[in-house]
Amino acid sequence: MPFSNSHMKSGPAPVVRLGDLTVHRIGLGAMRLTGSVPFGGVPSERGQAIRVLRRAVELGVNHIDTAAFYFSATRSANELINSALAPYPEDLVITTKVWPDRDPSGAWWWADPEQLRGQVEQNLRQLGRDHLDVVNLRVPPSRRDGSIAEHFGALAELREAGLIRQLGVSNVTDRQLIEALAIAPVVCVQNPYGVGAAPAEQQALLRRCGELGIAFVPFAAIAGPRTATGTAGTAAGHDEALRAVAGAHGASVAQVRLAWTLHQGPHVLAIPGTGNPEHLAENLAAGQLRLSDTELASLS
């Protein structure tokens, strides 16, 4: 299915298709509303988190990325989304992910294929929905070289049962994407990608998604690549180039990161997370930032 580069008057950027769903290219990641999982952080004040969600929709955001395991001792992303936005706008697309989960103490565990239905139903209850718009199968690091057929097949059955509208995959290799496509349609790939973190393998997968009509959705596009200790950062050369491009446009480094992401192809989306209303507006404004070929080359 071809991608549209046309502008929607109410949207902050051009649009992309997720199967039969249409979303603006800049959405909102809900993780930071509860504190940055799993790297620590301070949850947004509840009232402010709800205001950010409502303001995002007012500004044209119609794609929110969440997960049942986005929670802290006092905040649940899904519950905040439900409280802020239900009854949901007809064009709002809520994307979630399954396979990983956390118990009430915060400890991580990974679901067996037969446990995925319980994870899907948990998201349905928390969001107050009778079906989920898009569910990504988030592949654990330990399975990066393994088969995902059994787990993805279980989600495909839930799609056939009407609990899920569209399917995506996350943290996958090219081979795993092809494996999933042999089972059921895939509308998006959610993988780590950003300035200073765009290895050849991910660049090839990004191009493959464009060829197949699949949206590519980088996560951590603003935070940048993470070291083995989980701290964000880029090489000194990238930091200098980012500051130079930002200065030339009167923009922030975060805005340049987002603009660079969107310049990677018309099928590329962004889901920056924030619990700050000012940062929300800045993130959406990044969709209008146009970088030259020379600037793009300096960041690549």
Catalytic residues: 70
CB 26 within 8 A of CB 12: yes
Residue whose token pair is 């199967």: 19
CB 215 within 8 A of CB 18: yes
Q: What are phi and psi for residue 8, nearest 5 degrees?
A: -105, 135
Distance CA 123, CA 99 (A): 12
Distance CA 76, CA 46 (A): 10
Cβ neighbours, 10 Å, residue 38: 13
Distance CA 269, CA 16 (A): 8
- Residue 211 CB-density burial (10 A; 0-12 exposed, 13-18 middle, 19+ buried): exposed
Task: Give the pair of three-digit tokens for residue 145.
Answer: 């070289």
Residue whose token pair is 């620590």: 40
CB 218 within 8 A of CB 191: yes
Distance CA 186, CA 286 (A): 27
* Angle ∠(284,1,96) on CA atoms, nearest 5: 50
